[in-house]
Structure 1
Amino acid sequence: MKSMLFTDYTIKDVTLKNRIVMSPMCMYSCYEEDGKVQNWHLAHYTSRAVGQVGLIIQEATAVTPQGRISPQDLGIWSDEHIEGLSKLVAMIKEQGAKTGIQIAHAGRKAVLEGEIIAPSAIPFDENRKTPKEMTKDDISETVAAFRSAAMRAKTAGYDVMELHGAHGYLINEFLSPLSNKREDEYGGSAENRYRFLKEVIEAVKEVWDGPLFVRVSAFDYQEEGMTAEAYVQMAEWMKRDGVDLIDVSSGAVVPARISAYPGYQVPFSETIRQGADIPTGAVGLITSPLHAEEILQNDRADLIFLARELLRDPYWPRTAAKELGVEIEPPVQYKRGWL
């Protein structure tokens, strides 16, 4: 059987050389707290491009200073960030990978000095700060910040953009009834809870015409929370509004016990892919090339997002190709030691 993991994949006018995606993972490495790219980011991401990953999605990058998860997060809230981001993009592309950026706002999960904001004035847990409930002006300003971030990402030269709608951060907080208790047009029904994300998508698409992904937490692991079946409807709305792929993760909107095992989130990807007829990415303790191949061969996802496995092995595509009996072209500098 022909390997699907090493077939190319085209989204709009962007063609990935394989189905392997580096999942966005925060590095917390901006020690000056200015959100600017550091040498660590240049080395970290470029090494995975040398390792033959098809698409590298940069970690959650904050659209406002208030939207950082931590003071050490990367930022895209200022034109001053563009120079470093452009250099990072150029270095990754030089090694043959496509570049993505995940733009984000942490909402109530921001661990910062000063005021933090959320759909409702409910802390994440008893140890976290109580956020301010967002006003209509706060919502409008945040939507505008996503638009400005998308414009900067386009200027920096990224191929793909992902909106972070998962893991309990701001967009996810609006989507889940566990964290959104609003009584206006942004809360209550599923359509109202989707409204903030809809406005962000529409604003971003005013300036961004490339592939657009949204990462979602497809299961809240708590009664009355979101499920993959509930996300099918939202995925249909996202598809209608111009989203090209759903990156399917789960959890972290509220504290919860999660039984994690290899592929534990893949059924969520499959449910959304089949139910909404939209491409999906699968993520979650996928470490085996044979497992990745099974997911693709059985139409459970279109792309394989790898996180911790790529931290352990920047050359995982080479490992996978050898196990699957596929020849891939190494960097010319490494040919003598690639086999």
Structure 2
Amino acid sequence: MASNKKLLVLPGDGVGPEVMREVGRLVGWLQRRRGVSFDITEELVGGASIDAHGVPIRPQVVQAARDADAVLFGAVGGPQWDHVGFERRPELAILTLRRELGLFANLRPAVVLDPLVDASTLKADVVRGLDIMIVRETVGGIYFGEPRGVETLPDGSRRGVNTEVYTTHEIERVARVAFELARRRNNAVCSVEKSNVMESGLLWREVVTELQRREYPDVKLSHMLADNCAMQLVRNPRQFDVIVTGNLFGDLLSDLASMLTGSLGMLPSATLGAVDAFGRRPALYEPIHGSAPDIAGRGLANPLAQILSFAMLLRYSFELEGEALLIEEACRHVLASGLRTADIMSPGMARVGTSVMGEAVQRELEKLDR
């Protein structure tokens, strides 16, 4: 079906290598049972790279990411690297990859699986069946705009400055990602900004509206102010299909949406760049949980977010929709059987570790593929 997909694997620190090993099981299964093979390169990033090479990511690794069809990332960081200084912190690995690969669109799904509906702090009838995709612009806006900095004023007081800046091009390219995703889902996009008080928000609304009229008239478009969107995500989250927004609001709203599910250890993400002249789109996939240094090396971490990130990789980078659906269905079956890692444990369920959960997903895949 598919072969020779170039995949760069970056396990990172903490629980990253542990949960990435469980993806390795599925890579082997895909090759044996579905004829999908990968050319895999594995490299050090984050604290592991600091220990081995003195830097959080080497230029050779950035180049390997450019050469790959997709990058699968684990997690970076931990207290043992707090002393290295801001300019060499482990998290620079992921920031460098986003910048160097031009990864401008972060896809953050918030999905409530039926077996975990009671894990949310919201009422079950509010979140049951929830399936939202938030598309966040990641290389522009107030986090990158100029001027920025801290200055001392003539009277001796200090002033901090950050600038919210977006261009037509930056808005259009992330909105296109959202519209294309909506066509694969329920065909509705909600564009979020603060056009009532911010000129950049007004431009955002105008550009998205014109793009939809010109290129995506089949997709339903709505607009919402960011503060109202935060309220609506708690009040009635199922009204949304795809939400597209800028860097700052996307940062806040995607974290809010992730907690609607009540299971941070379950949530994957993807960050996409622009399609090049050869039809390739740089992309990086990672779970949204951190390196969890308190449980690293103990076999307790939930591997499902990493596994579901791999499913997103199959879907968006390799167009292997059938295989992605199989993996997602296998995860649902495992949870329905009552298996739980510590982070999603509830009364009456069976508590298991990282490797047992990974083995269970593989067993379910074999059942589903008969």
> Fold match, TM over 0.5?
no
- Of Structure 1 and Structure 2, the greater helix share is in 2
Kindly indicate whether structure 1 or structure 2 has the higher relative contact order, using CA contacts under 8 Å at least 6 residues apart: 2
Structure holding more strand per residue: 2
The interval holding the TM-score normalised by the smaller chain is under 0.3
Larger radius of gyration between Structure 1 and Structure 2:
2
TM-score by length of 2: 0.26
